[in-house]
Amino acid sequence: MGRYIARRLIQFIPVIIGTLFLLHLLSVLTIQIVGDPVRALFGENAPPDEVIAALQARYGLDDPCLDTTGNPCFGLFFDRMGQYAQGDFGVNFRERPVTELFMERIGVTLRLTALAILFESVIGILMGVLAGLNKDKFVDNLVRVLTSVLVAFPTFVFGTLMLLFLGLQFGLYLRESDWAPEWLGQMFQIGYNPDYPWLSLFLPGMVLGAFSLAAVARLTRTSLIENLRSDYVRTARAKGLTTRRTIGIHTLRNSLIPVVTFIGIDIGGLIAGALITEGIFNVPGIGQLIFLSVQANDTPVIIGVVTILVVVFLVANLVVDILYAALDPRIRYE
């Protein structure tokens, strides 16, 4: 096990360097093709060239390679890697460190992502297990129809409908009623309430995790049906093991391997997908920060925040690989 973890960590180094270089290359090509973001910041009212040059040097955009389209700017990449290693992801156009902006909002996004993962994992696995154990019956058909509907709805459409019906109508009814406790009304809040940092994210968390819930349910169902036909399941039943132990201990553990893989990969997707959900529910998280930075053409913030999210995504995949041993003892690492 130790050798496997060491080998995966060694493999992780070139993967993260290569990924960061691709991200660097995309940002460099964007600047080379679209133009200097510092000049675009002022529009037609550009200050003197001396001021432009000082600002370019301040934000690391003064490298001559940015003037040649197609130049990969290796020197600029190594300079950025040195800054990233020190925890410096630059400053925005208002002289605020990107890490400071990120840390102000990451807590909200992490809570939103955690609720989405909890929602899609618990409900999705439960739906998948019920469908797999009742193949081609009413429960199975109902789960397949519901998951198809969830997949068919785009996030912005589903989120808007949830906001209108559950947030405005049902939530308003709960908040104005005399019998409903205050915490129940906050669960169906139409916006983020810092006094209820978890409850007010319940509804956007459901929206964020709805699409992934459909995938988790279908993966669990398919994997469970396949494993129920395996030889080791028939052997376990022949030995007299109870149905609960055969399915809950042996079959379900093996069936969750593709599910855990999907959830691990989905962490990065949920954080990135929070851009739309946070916009619908006005949640002050990372997604809203990226959206506002794109509107303001604040390139340093976009590059810095996306780089951090890429690292989070790769680390999540590494953790998923290591967790395989706890789910399937047939996997050998040595």
Domain with 250 in it: what CATH number? 1.10.3720.10
Task: Count other C-beta atoms under 10 Å from residue 13's C-beta.
Answer: 9
Assess if residue 97 is contained within a domain. no
Residues 134, 277: one domain? yes
DSSP element (H, E) containing 175: helix 171-176
Letter string b/e over residues 275-291, b meaning 16 or more CB atoms within 10 A of that residue's CB: bbbbbbbebbbbbbbbe
Closest CA to 38 of 23, 55, 26: 55
- Non-local (6+) Cβ contacts of 278 within 8 A are 109, 112, 204, 284, 285, 286, 287, 288, 291
Assess if residue 92 is contained within a domain. no
Q: How many domains, the chain?
A: 2
Distance in angstroms (rounded) separating the CA atoms of residues 246 and 251: 6
CB 24 within 8 A of CB 77: yes
Distance in angstroms (rounded) separating the CA atoms of residues 136 and 297: 52
Closest CA to 220 of 311, 298, 327: 327
Assess if residue 153 is contained within a domain. yes
How far are the Cα atoms of 189, 199, 201, 297 from residue 194, in angstroms, in the given order? 12, 10, 10, 28
pLDDT of the chain, 334 residues: tens digit per residue: 667 677 777 878 888 888 889 888 988 888 888 877 877 777 677 778 788 888 778 777 788 888 888 888 898 888 888 888 888 888 887 788 888 888 888 889 889 999 999 999 999 999 999 998 888 899 999 999 999 888 888 878 888 888 888 888 888 888 888 888 888 888 888 888 888 889 889 999 999 998 889 999 999 999 888 888 887 777 877 777 777 777 777 788 778 878 887 887 787 778 766 778 888 888 898 888 888 888 777 878 888 888 888 887 778 777 777 776 555 555 555 4
- Non-local (6+) Cβ contacts of 108 within 8 A are 192, 197, 201, 283, 284, 285, 286
CB 271 within 8 A of CB 309: yes
Range of the domain at 48: 15-85
Residues 141, 196: one domain? yes
Q: What is the pTM of this model?
A: 0.79
According to DSSP H, which parts of 35-134 are helical?
Answer: 37-42, 49-58, 74-85, 98-133
Assess if residue 321 is contained within a domain. yes
Assess if residue 332 is contained within a domain. no
For 139, counting Cβ atoms within 10 Å of its Cβ (0-12 exposed, 13-18 middle, 19+ buried), the class is middle
Residues 47, 151: one domain? no
Q: Which two tokens stand for residue 220?
A: 């669990």
Residues 124, 174: one domain? yes
